[in-house]
Each structure stands twice: as structure tokens, then as C-alpha cells.
Amino acid sequence: MSIPIGANGAGSVDKAVPDKPPQGEGQGAFASNNSISVNSGNSPLAGNSGKSQAKPGKSHRRRGSSNSPPRPRVYAALDLGTNNCRLLVANPNRHTGFRVIDAFSRIVRLGEGLMHSGNLSDEAEVRAIAALKICTDKMIRRGVERSRLIATEACRSAKNGQRFIARVKSETGLNLEIIDRKTEAQLAVAGCAALLCPQSERALVFDIGGGSSEIMWLAHKGCDYKILSWTSIPVGVVTLAEKFGGIEINQREFTAMVEYVAPFLQKFEDEFQISCELKRHNAHMLGTSGTVTTIAGIHLDLPRYDRSKVDGCWLSGEEVSAVNRRLLDMPFEARRECPCIGADRADLVLAGCAILEAVRLQWPCERVRVADRGLREGILTSLMCQDETFGMDCSHIGNNPRRGPFRRRRKRSNRSQKTNSQSENTENRS
């Protein structure tokens, strides 16, 4: 099976995904009993029936009639995490599975202070809702018909998580779905399965998030895979940085962070004995998170983050260790100015490195592949596979923002256009 791997950078519209859709929800062709429950409703907007309404006095030709070619469905995937709010809007595409036509990413730190208070703060909610309003505007402009909008660990664990979901619905019209950790793990794998090495039979996939981290042990043939076992630990870059600090971190504090994470991983190892399997099957690691993409960008000495160079690249164990040492020696201000880190993530990057180091110590593996893709790509793949549109030829059809439940409702201001044109190139990582 040929797998398109060289995805283009941010601003590009083509995403590299399997040229053969995985069978089932977020699973490979021979995974049969671990399906994901996906919302089947066409419209995430509150109170919307999911059907386009014809305006009085205007004639509309039925889609798929002999008078007009069928138009591609417009899909959206939104991931509201502990740290980031991220959106992809896409059409099916014959060559790459789907073609991204719009994207948005903003660091909102929804889970800031959650570890100590047990609640989402009002300031964090305001930041998240402001980002979600931009996402709503983009989906309206693009005429999104089919979508899945998910919230993860911050909303799962917060005592006021459900109240926040209701507030989002009231203020933005979006119906967010709080997914469980199993679904999160499955979607993460579905999003990066195209990067599984064809020469290997096993892979350890990890997703280091803001509030939790998922570890998945896979058997695979090409990009057809089965999740043999998985775990989710309640530790992410935001929660770990809040516990140990993220400004001034020395080697002793870094080691303490690694040791804090280790017992969570040991439980998974004790149950499934993955260490022995790693050696037996020539396995590799596949990382889908801001931590591993940042490490790759620094290793490559990129003058600015470039997704086309990072996504799909390989790192050796020594190269990962060298970047860790480099970051530990780097003052906080230097981390802020590093183009592959930035001011918003300078206090989180070492916490992510500590989680990855704990994973590497628990399961020594000399090959780590980097994926700048994950949950959103997994959602889009799953929705299109459900509709049997994944890989559909849409090259001759233009996007029509006037159709679908997310129809244009108002004229966009210049200020809004400038806000929405932010490049995902620098903000798309956890």
C-alpha cells in the first residue's frame, strides 16, 4: 500500500492521510471490535436542523441532479484541549484523502489552574469562547455540513465542565462533545496512521497533551492497524508545569518531573509487557504532539517552524536527548525567543520533554517518528469514511459557502478577517 507521507507546510491545503480509508471508526482494516461513537448529526449549531433552507423567490437545483454535478461535502473537526483550540475544515480529495480548505489554532489554556481548583476559571473560559467564536465564523463562511466538535481532558475533569459546555452552546451556538480517553486515543491514532513505518510490525504511539497523555500499542501492516492496548495518564504539559514550575528548570527538577510520570507508565508496562515486544518486533515510536514537533524543529535548527520539514521526520534517541540537554541549558528568555517554541509555550516545553523522557526510559526505542497531525485529522478521516466520501474526486468542484447548515450569516469585517488569517504554522502544537 502506498502512503502519501510528505505533507505540505501550513498555508498548504493538502494533508497527507492514507490513500485507503481505515475500516471502522478510527481503526485499521483488521481492527473490528473497538469502534468510536461519532455524532451523526449534520449540524453542530444549536437548534439547527442540518438542512439548507431555500430562500423565497430563488430556485435551487437538487444536489446530485442531472442538471448539476454533485458537490463535495464540507467537513470540520474541532479539538478544544487543555491548552489549544484547533479547527480544520476540509473537502474529500482523491489523492490525499481530504484537502484542508481552512484552519485555525490558538493557545487558550483552558485548563490553567484546574489542577489546584478543580474548576475551569472564568478567565480561561472567556479565552476559549473567544477562539470558538472565530471557529464558528470560519465554519459559517465555508458552509460546513458535517462536523465533530470535541473537548478533552480539561472539560472531562473539571467540576464545572458541563456548565462550560452549556455556556459555549449559549454564546457560540456550538455543541461541543466531551469525549472519553479511549475515544481520544483512537482518534489520535486514526489521524497519524499514515506515518506508520511499513517495514515495522509494531508501533508505540504517544500523544502528549495539555492535561493528559495517551499511549497506544499497535500491530500494523502499512497503515492498516489494530490497537492492541492503550492507556491514558492524567498528566500533560500544563498540569506538570503547574505542579513543578516551568520558568527556571534545572536538571534536578527535570529529573523529578520524569520520576513523577514514571509510575503512571509502569502500570501499563506491568500489564502488557511492552518492553519485550518492542525488541521482538523491530518497533518504532510515533509521536503526535507539540512536544515532539518542537523537539524536531529545534533539532533541525529551523529559523521558523516549518510543518513540511517536521511532519514525518525521524529522530534517533540520541538526537532527542541532545535537544533535551540544549533546552535545559537554555534560559527562559531564550526559550521564549526560540522560533519553534514561542512565548506562549516557553513555560510548557520542558514539562513535555520530561513526559517524553519518561516514555523513552520506560520503553527504550531508537526510532521516533514525528507527526504534526492527530485528533482533527482522525475526526475528518472517520467522518468521511462513515459517509464513504474519503478520497472522493472533488478536483472539478469549487467550495460553495452558501449551502449547508453553516451558511454565511453576516458580512465579515476587515478586523475579523485579519484575526482569522492567523497562520496555523506557529500555533498548531500542544
Rounded to a whole number of angstroms, the distance between the first and last alpha carbons of the chain is: 31
* 398 in Cβ contact with 56 (< 8 Å): no
C-alpha distance from residue 18 to each of 96, 265, 353, 391 (Å): 7, 30, 29, 9
In this prediction, residue 429 carries a pLDDT of 56
The answer as to whether 410 is a domain residue is no
Query: In this predicted model, what pLDDT tens digit does every residue of 163-182 receive, in sequence order?
Result: 999 999 999 999 999 999 99
Report pLDDT digits (tens) over 355-400. Answer: 999 999 999 988 999 999 999 999 999 999 999 998 876 554 444 4
Strand partners, 79: 86, 150
How many CB atoms neighbour CB 415 within 10 A?
A: 8
In a domain, 319, yes or no: yes
Q: Tell whether 81 is covered by a domain.
A: no
Percent of the chain residues past pLDDT 90, beyond the cut: 66
The amino acid that residue 380 corresponds to is L
pLDDT at residue number 187: 96
Task: Give how far the C-alpha of residue 415 lies from the chain's centroid of Cα atoms, to the nearest Å.
Answer: 27
Phi, psi of 93 (to 5 degrees): -145, 135
Q: Are the C-beta atoms of 31 and 24 separated by less than 8 Å?
A: yes
**Which parts of the chain sit beneath pLDDT 70?**
1-72, 222-223, 393-430
Task: Encode burial over 322-349: b for 16+ CB neighbours within 10 A, e otherwise.
Answer: ebbeebeebeeeebeebebbbebbbbbb
Tell me the backbone φ, ψ of residue 103, rounded to 5 degrees.
Answer: -155, 155
Kindly report whether the global pTM for this prediction surpasses the value 0.75. yes
Q: Are strands 202-208 and 284-287 parallel, antiparallel or unpaired?
A: parallel
Q: What is the pLDDT of residue 366?
A: 87
Q: What is the pLDDT of residue 224?
A: 85
Establish if 268 belongs to a structural domain: yes
CA 254 and chain centroid, separation: 26
Strand 75-80 to 146-151 pairing: parallel
Considering the domain boundaries, does residue 130 fall inside one?
A: no
CA distance linking residue 135 with residue 78, whole number of Å: 8
Angle among Cα 7, 148, 62 to the nearest 5 degrees reads: 95
**What whole-number distance in Å separates Cα of residue 66 and Cα of residue 172?**
38
Summarize pLDDT for 263-284 with one digit per residue, the tens. Answer: 999 999 999 999 988 878 889 9
Q: Is 110 part of any domain? A: no
CATH number, domain containing residue 212:
3.30.420.150
Residue 2: what pLDDT? 29
Say which amino acid occupies 410: R
Range of the domain at 349: 196-370
Which residues are registered as beta bridge partners of 102? 89
Residue 383 lies in a domain: no
What does the alpha-carbon distance between residue 362 and residue 360 come to, in Å, rounded to a whole number? 5
**Sequence-distant (≥ 6) Cβ neighbours of residue 214 within 8 angstroms:** 181, 184, 185, 188, 206, 207, 230, 231, 232
Q: What is the 3-state secondary structure (H, E, C) of the chain?
A: CCCCCCCCCCCCCECCCCCCCCCCCCCCCCCCCCCCCCCCCCCCECCCCCCCCCCCCCCCCCCCCCCCCCCCCCEEEEEECCCEEEEEEEEEECCCEEEEEEEEEEECCCCCCHHHHCCCCHHHHHHHHHHHHHHHHHHHHCCCCEEEEEECHHHHHCCCHHHHHHHHHHHHCECCEECCHHHHHHHHHHHHHHHCCCCCCEEEEEEECCCCEEEEEEEEECCEEEEEEEEEECCCHHHHHHHHCCCCCCHHHHHHHHHHHHHHHHHHHHHHCHHHHHHHCCCEEEECCHHHHHHHHHHCCCCCCCHHHHCCCEEEHHHHHHHHHHHHCCCHHHHHHCCCCCCCCCCCHHHHHHHHHHHHHHCCCCEEEECCCCHHHHHHHHHHHHHCCCCCCCCCCCCCCCCCCCCCCCCCCHHHHHHHCCCCCCCCCC
Domain total for the chain?
Answer: 1
